[in-house]
Structure 1
């Protein structure tokens, strides 16, 4: 579905904008200031994350790892995950199915 979606701030130092979506897929931009966090959480959606810019430390389940520009990974459904932004940047997340809570 085409459209312009608002930019919202779900956490301090974080901006989120839905880029595109339909009922089975959603693409979302998350822009982080250095030191900002994506709080630990889980959801039923499978998530793919692409690091467009910056550097991040992620926790997914029991694993912790650092990623930088050009890296990507998949977070399984219901996996507890979160991140801290080490260098200001942007993540492009894709969710299947769509995250209705972001609309």
Structure 2
């Protein structure tokens, strides 16, 4: 589970594998391998994993808190 949250970054999520229910704002979308989602800054979003898989997230501007 990715709990509902927001942040000031634009975010694009690519579904490499698996199945997920993503809520973005007031809408929920079921996505699977090959799908892409876009989240505008400051919009509430989160997800529930339906079938184990891998997500690849890209943020702009860069999220310094994710850089080690």
Q: Tell me which interval the TM-score lies in, with the shorter structure as reference length.
A: over 0.9
- For 1:42, the equivalent position in structure 2 comes to 6
Q: Which residue, 63, 73, 86 being the options, matches 2:50?
A: 86
- For 2:15, the equivalent position in structure 1 comes to 51
Q: How many residues are paired up?
A: 67
Matched, 1:68 2:32: yes
The TM-score, its normalising length taken from structure 2, stands at: 0.95
The alignment's C-alpha RMSD in Å is: 0.6
**Unpaired segments ≥5 residues, structure 2:** none
- For 1:26, the equivalent position in structure 2 comes to none
Distance 1:78 1:55 in 2: 25
Higher relative contact order (CA 8 A, sep 6+): 2
